[in-house]
Amino acid sequence: MDNNLQYAQERLSNIRFALDEQLNDPTLDNLDDGSRLKSFANLQHLKITEGVTPKLYESLETVLDRLGIPHQSVEAFVFNSPEIQAECFSLAGGQCVLRFSSGLVDLLDNDEFKFVVGHELGHFLYSHIGLPGEGVGRTFRQLKQSRYQEVSADRVGLIGCNSLDVAIKALVKSSSGLNGSHLRFDVGTYLNQLKKAEEHSSIIEEYSTHPSSPLRCKALFWFSLVNDPLQMKEETLLAPMSEVDNRVSRDLIKYSESYTASLQLQLLSELELWSKLDEVSSKGSFTKSDQVVIADAFGPEMLQKALNFYEGKTASEAQEHAKLKVIQFRQQLHDLGY
C-alpha cells in the first residue's frame, strides 16, 4: 500500500463513527486486482478524465487532494442510468474504482458531486466491505453496521466538499430526486421533519441499509460543530468524536432502531427465563421456592409459562428443551448486534 494512502487512512480514523466497527474480514487480504472490472468499465462506461469530463475530473482531483489520497489509486467512471447511484469497489494494492450514474451526475452541481466522491472514498479508506443483499437476507446486526458505515462515509464526504450546506444539498437532492430549481434549502425546516416522525421506528426503516436523509443531515450537523471542514487541512489533527458519536447514536436508536431495541429487551427477558429454567431443570424438580423466584423475577405470566412448560415433561426432557431455547435466544440477540 502507498505510504500516502496509509497516512490518509490513519488521519481520518479519528473521525470514524464509534459504532462503525473495524472488521477483521479475510476478504480484505484477498481483494481482486480489478482487471475485469476496469476492462468492463472502460468498454461500457465513460471514464472521468480531464480531456472528456473536465469539470468532473477537477472535482475528483480536488477531493483526492483534500483527503490526501494518491491520484493513481483511484479510477472513476460514469454509467448510463436514471437511478441515483454511486458505488465504490476496493481492489488489491490500495486501488479502487468509483462508479456514478448519469442520473446522479446530472442532478448535482460540481461542489455537491464532491460530497458524493468523498463519501464513496470514505468507504474505500475505512475498508468497508459490502454486506450481502440489499436489506433482504441480512441480519439486523449487518443492517445496523451498514447504517453506521454510512455515517462514517458522510463525514469524509463533508471534508471532500468543504461545506455543510453543500453536503446537505447533495443529500436532499439525492434522496428526493429533485434538482435545485424546485428546492429552497432551509436546513432547519428540513431537519424539523424528524420531529414529525414517529419516535418508534417501523420495521421497514430497520431493514434499510442507509439511515434516512434527515438523520444523515443531522449527524453531519453534530459533526460540523466539532470539526469545521474549512479548517481540515491535511496536517490538521481531527478532533475526537466521543460526544458527537453519543448524540448520533441516540438519534439512530430513537428513529431507526427502536423496534430492535424493544425486541432486544424481550429477547433478553426470554434468555434470562430459559437460563433459569435450565438451571432449575438440572436439579430434577420445579419446587415451590423455584416458582417464587420465577414469579418475583419475571412476573406471574412468565411463571404460568414455566408451569405449562414443565407439565408432562421429565426433568431431562425439560433441561434439554431449555438448553435449546437458551441457544436460540442467544443467536437471535447476536443477530441483533447484542
Model pLDDT, residue 25? 58
153 vs 4, 123, 167, CA distance in Å?
Answer: 19, 6, 12
Model pLDDT, residue 237? 46
What are the extents of the domains in the chain?
3-256, 262-335
Phi/psi of residue 90, nearest 5 degrees: -80, 135
Residues 227 and 16: beta-carbon distance below 8 Å: no
- Sequence-distant (6+) residues with CB within 8 A of 206 are 140, 143, 256, 257, 259, 260
Average pLDDT value over all residues in the chain? 85
User: What are the tens digits of pLDDT across the range 34-69?
Assistant: 899 999 999 999 999 999 999 999 999 999 999 999
98 strand-pairing partners: 76, 88
Residue 235 above 80 pLDDT? Answer: no
Nearest-5° angle of CA 86, CA 90, CA 95? 110
- Sequence-distant (6+) residues with CB within 8 A of 291 are 303, 306, 307
In the chain, the amino acid numbered 217 is: C
Residue 308 above 60 pLDDT? Answer: yes
Helix axes 242-256 and 258-281, enclosed angle (nearest 10): 90
User: What are the tens digits of pLDDT across the range 139-191?
Assistant: 777 888 899 999 999 999 999 999 999 999 999 999 999 998 888 888 778 87
d(CA 176, CA 182): 10
d(CA 302, CA 77): 59
In this structure, are strands 74-79 and 46-47 parallel, antiparallel, or unpaired?
Answer: antiparallel
User: What are the tens digits of pLDDT across the range 107-142?
Assistant: 999 999 999 999 999 999 999 975 544 445 567 778
pLDDT-derived band at 228 (thresholds 50, 70, 90) equals low
Model pLDDT, residue 253? 79
- Closest by CA position to 14, among listed 246, 244, 249, 240: 240
Q: How many CB atoms lie within 10 A of CB 167?
A: 31
Which residue blocks in the chain are alpha helix, DSSP H? 3-12, 35-44, 54-67, 102-107, 110-125, 140-161, 164-176, 187-191, 193-196, 203-206, 213-226, 242-256, 258-281, 288-298, 300-310, 315-335
Q: What number is the average pLDDT over the span 279-294?
A: 85
18 vs 100, 154, 206, 209, CA distance in Å?
Answer: 28, 14, 19, 18
